[in-house]
Amino acid sequence: MKAIPAKFKVNGGIHPAYHKELARDKAIENMPIPALLSVSMSQHLGAPANPIVKKGDSVLRGQLIGETAGFISAAVHAPSSGTVKAVSEAPTAMGTTAAIVVIEPDGEDTWIEGLEGIADWQSTAPKTLVEKIAAAGIAGMGGAGFPTHVKLSPPPDKPIDTLILNGAECEPYLTADHRLMIERADTIWVGCQIIRKILGATTVRIAIEDNKPEAIAAMEQAMANAEGDVGITVLKTEYPQGAEKQQIFATTGREVPSGKLPMDVGCVVENVGTTLAVWDAIVNGKPLTERVTTVTGHPVAEPRNVLNRIGTPYSDLLAFCGGLKGDVAKIISGGPMMGLAQPGLDATTTKTTSGLLFLAPQETQTFNSMPCIACGRCIEACPMYLVPAELSQMLEAEDYEAAEELNVLDCIECGCCAFACPAHRPLVQHMKQGKSKVMLKRRQAQKK
């Protein structure tokens, strides 16, 4: 089996400075358990989990501490053994407030008893495998955090023939997925086969950008004896190649229609980190309690790819990487394109914390937004065939009906338009606000 270049070119896209060399060659390091773990109940898309423990309770690693609160929700488990010091609310990296369970680890890191894998998963019913994944609390680890068991349960009238593993990691600076593919290719491939069995997919594609030759080689070796229609699709390095709809088009030529989902064109896309978590849940019976996070940026003393427990304070992550060696102008949870700026280091890691980025003063700029000059650069950059300049002006005028007609809900908030805009228009902020207003209007209409 050979890796082959993608046959299809996605629309738009940009080429920011990537700076992946800071952590690209740093092997994954296991971080010691911090003194306190603050585990958010809102670390996935959908309804936050409901905490089921109270102050003073003793917990074991892998023990359920947050139950799902709806169909689109995910269970939350204790990342280490210890004592519950508080159940309260706290700000999240997303800027919202959510319930948290604060655990003081006991240093023993004792797993709860009774966790068992499925040795013969090849002969196990897909429904049983999905139930195991749901019980493990797995959510998409590429950033969106969609509950994995929901994604792997398409309705009967939407059969899936193609599974795509997302190894693009197109966000600048971030290298966690790159290192996972290099170091854990064999187990990622087993996880892929588990997901393939669940979906009944006949075709499998591993999509990786061409700036990751070591990852491509590692996955090629792991898949050397793969059977059926299986291959690695090498994508041109271009942001946002890791976006779901763009990756589907690049690998299959299928275009997801406006307002539709990947399942509507017979595809499911899963991040490689998520796929590894599926392997761990099915083969070892372990819930999702840790993940790899890239801690990087020129001001960081020792940029690293860190295997850390969910609920680890950002301050502890930075300390593990030697602290700072220079001034910092901005802290970002995630990457510079779709990550969220942080007021400090008080937030803690979640299942979706792919990176913690520190930018130096010379890497940021302060500017005043100016009127649109109608240059069209945002239109050229948009991967979703939108007209950001026109949408932005509609949203400034609070004309949400017109914005809805121009498909504002199709915006994936990738930031390409704002990156390309010479007038420094706050285009992404306009789109986020507009999408929120349109969705609110739809919900209100449904209640009437």
pLDDT tens across 201-238, in order? Answer: 999 999 999 999 999 999 999 999 999 999 999 999 99
434: domain range? 377-447
Q: Are residues 149 and 291 in the same domain?
A: yes
Residue 160 lies in a domain: yes
Q: Are residues 200 and 226 in the same domain?
A: yes
Give the percent of the chain with pLDDT over 70.
Answer: 100
H helices of 101-163, in order, are 126-135, 148-151
Q: Are residues 126 and 204 in the same domain?
A: yes
- Residue-wise pLDDT tens digits, 159-197: 999 999 999 999 999 999 999 999 999 999 999 999 999
pLDDT-derived band at 144 (thresholds 50, 70, 90) equals: confident
Residue 232 lies in a domain: yes
Residue 427 lies in a domain: yes
Q: Are residues 164 and 280 in the same domain?
A: yes
Domain boundary among 329, 363, 397: 363
Amino acid at 300: V
- Residue-wise pLDDT tens digits, 32-57: 999 999 999 999 989 999 999 999 99
- What's the CATH code of the domain at 217? 3.40.50.11540
Q: Are residues 343 and 394 in the same domain?
A: no
Mean confidence (pLDDT) of the chain: 96
pLDDT-derived band at 92 (thresholds 50, 70, 90) equals: confident
283: Cα separation from own chain's centroid: 23
Render the burial of 300-333: b for 16+ CB within 10 Å, e for the rest. beebbbbbbbbbbbbebbbebbeeeeeebebbbb
Amino acid at 101: V
Domain boundary among 332, 363, 394: 363
Q: Are residues 117 and 160 in the same domain?
A: yes
- Is 270 a residue whose pLDDT tops 90? yes
The pLDDT score that the predictor gives to residue 96 is 84
Average pLDDT over residues 115-141: 97
H helices of 84-207, in order, are 126-135, 148-151, 176-183, 185-199
- Residue-wise pLDDT tens digits, 279-303: 999 999 999 999 999 999 999 999 9
- Residue-wise pLDDT tens digits, 179-188: 999 999 999 9
Amino acid at 175: T
Residue 92 lies in a domain: no
**C-alpha span between 175 and 13 (Å, rounded):** 20
Domain count, the chain: 2
Residue 6 lies in a domain: yes
Q: Are residues 277 and 321 in the same domain?
A: yes
Q: Are residues 391 and 339 in the same domain?
A: no
The pLDDT score that the predictor gives to residue 242 is 94
Residue 74 lies in a domain: no
Q: Are residues 126 and 250 in the same domain?
A: yes
Q: Are residues 262 and 388 in the same domain?
A: no
Average pLDDT over residues 356-380: 94
Strand 355-359 relative to strand 330-333, pairing: antiparallel
Q: Are residues 270 and 393 in the same domain?
A: no
The pLDDT score that the predictor gives to residue 2 is 76
Q: What is the pTM of this model?
A: 0.96
Residue 60 lies in a domain: no
Q: Are residues 266 and 395 in the same domain?
A: no
- Residue-wise pLDDT tens digits, 341-351: 999 999 999 99
**C-alpha span between 276 and 189 (Å, rounded):** 8
Q: Hey, what are 424's tokens? A: 């420094």
Partnered with residue 434 across adjacent β-strands are none
Residue 103, φ and ψ in degrees, nearest 5:
-115, 130
The pLDDT score that the predictor gives to residue 142 is 87
Residue 219 lies in a domain: yes
3: Cα separation from own chain's centroid: 24
Domain boundary among 312, 340, 363: 363
CA distance between the termini of the chain: 56
